[in-house]
Structure 1
Amino acid sequence: MMRKNEKERYAMESLLRSVYGRAEAEYVIKKSRFIATVCEVKTEAEAAAFIESVRKHYWDARHNCSAFQIGAGGQIQRSSDDGEPSGTAGRPILEVLKKRDLTNTAVVVTRYFGGIKLGASGLIRAYSHAAALALDEASVVDYTPFTVLTATVAYPLVSTLERFAESHGVLITDRAFAADVTFTFEVPEGNSAAFMADLTNTTNGRASLQKTGTVVKPVPVTES
């Protein structure tokens, strides 16, 4: 995964933000245990399978409340209170996802009842807090489109291209050595024209440039 850096020359615009992989956190209040599990999901079927797997793992828990968003802009949204009073569990979990602009993400908060009732407002706070704790533990990525470009140059220009790529925060994904050297770059989509213009200037027009495709990659979100 490519890393974001505030010093990068070319800005990146993501398609969506999601957790990457899986994470878990636990919160205890008034003897009730809230265990939140988060996972990346890309379809409703994946979300349903994840929720069921957590339910089976914590089979003896009283509640396994859940929420998920799928698609850019969160076109698909689902939540379940799983026996808790209506609106006190699933919806608060979903609101945490929406507040953080996380999609393709599912959260299950498992509750082991401690014998002391929390009330509606207490449940809302507890489920929200548990979900937030698990999301804090999760890796978060921006799925970002990159244009794949090749640049073919003579051997004396190899170090020039390598320095150019490093200084502009652009990833070199391949080098092919023949009569000349062909570099393959991944450039944030929307910046390919600027990249090609800059590279042409740097090499005084001695690089043969070509667009070859587009890829979407997860870019870790780092705290600024």
Structure 2
Amino acid sequence: MEGQPAEPSSYLTIARPGDAEIEVKRSRFLARLRRVTDEPGAREVVDRARKEHWDAGHHCSAFVLGPDGATMRSHDDGEPGGTAGAPMLEVLRGHGLSDVVAVVTRYFGGTLLGAGGLVRAYSEAVRMGLEEEGVVRRQRMQLVELLTTPAGAGRLEHDLRSRDVVVRGVSYADPVVVTAAVPVTGVENLRSIVAALTSGEVSLRPTATEWVDLPG
């Protein structure tokens, strides 16, 4: 719509789900980070942590959603205001991440940490979780179906991958369909690559667009 910024063509998120734990003055901080795409999904991760660690004192959370990171929420869950959820959110934002929720469960160890100690502990737990999971770039890609023969499918898939074309799958029907993913502006370039590889014997059929994790 006119006047609205264009949606980003790529963004960063976590590569895989992961967990981390740190201990500060006998208080245990258990971090879990998960990829999510909407608020219900994020809240489900928080609820699951509550159920699994029902005897813990706090389940603080933060999440960022959307390719542009426009939706951001944080919750201190009973910790002093601004000492848990907000620092966790800042770690996610500092790494430029979206479509991710972080939950840090705290088991109190008997020693008060003070505001500064809590900020450091919750932040460090999330940073440790990110080190465990790693980061991946997601890009909006155009899916293109390449119609070929059973005899040529394997070679075509190999040649595409060797040219860093993302192959999403192969359907062995009649004809065989090799599904490739290219940047939304890269269909004509793919057409040229395929024509050179197959002497023009393979036809292309652009289909939908979707977000794809790029190879690391």
Length-normalised TM-score, structure 2: 0.80
1:15 and 2:7 are equivalent in the alignment? no
1:66 and 2:61 are equivalent in the alignment? yes
1:98-155 superposed Cα distances (whole Å, 9 cap, x missing partner): 1112211111111112222222222111110001111222254433333333445689
Shift of 1:165: 1.4
Aligned equivalent of 2:207: 213
1:122 and 2:133 are equivalent in the alignment? no
Letter in 2 for 1:174: V
Letter in 2 for 1:219: D
1:176-199 superposed Cα distances (whole Å, 9 cap, x missing partner): 576xx6552313222221121233
Once structures 1 and 2 are overlaid, which stretch shifts more, 163-172 or 152-161?
152-161
Hey, what's the Cα distance between the residues in 2 that align with 1:150 and 1:187? 9
Aligned equivalent of 2:169: 173
Contact 1:145 1:214 in 2 (8 A): no
Once structures 1 and 2 are overlaid, which stretch shifts more, 212-221 or 72-81?
212-221
Aligned equivalent of 1:26: 21
Shift of 1:59: 1.8
Aligned equivalent of 2:91: 96
Aligned equivalent of 1:7: none
Q: 1:38 to 1:160 in 2, by over 3 A?
A: closer
Hey, what's the Cα distance between the residues in 2 that align with 1:175 and 1:105? 32
Once structures 1 and 2 are overlaid, which stretch shifts more, 112-121 or 26-35?
112-121
Letter in 1 for 2:208: T
Q: Which runs of 5+ in 2 are unaligned?
A: 1-7
Letter in 2 for 1:184: V
Letter in 1 for 2:114: G
1:185 and 2:179 are equivalent in the alignment? yes
Once structures 1 and 2 are overlaid, which stretch shifts more, 13-22 or 25-34?
13-22
1:9-59 superposed Cα distances (whole Å, 9 cap, x missing partner): xxxx96333235532110001111111111122211121222122122222
Length-normalised TM-score, structure 1: 0.78
1:148 and 2:164 are equivalent in the alignment? no
Contact 1:96 1:128 in 2 (8 A): yes
Letter in 2 for 1:216: E
Aligned equivalent of 2:106: 111
Which SS does the other structure have where 2:37 is aligned?
coil
Instruction: State the structure with bigger RCO (CA 8 A, min sep 6), 1 or 2.
Output: 1
Percent identity between matched residues is 32
Hey, what's the Cα distance between the residues in 2 that align with 1:71 and 1:172? 23
Hey, what's the Cα distance between the residues in 1 that align with 2:149 and 2:41? 49
RMSD: 2.8
Which SS does the other structure have where 1:50 is aligned?
helix
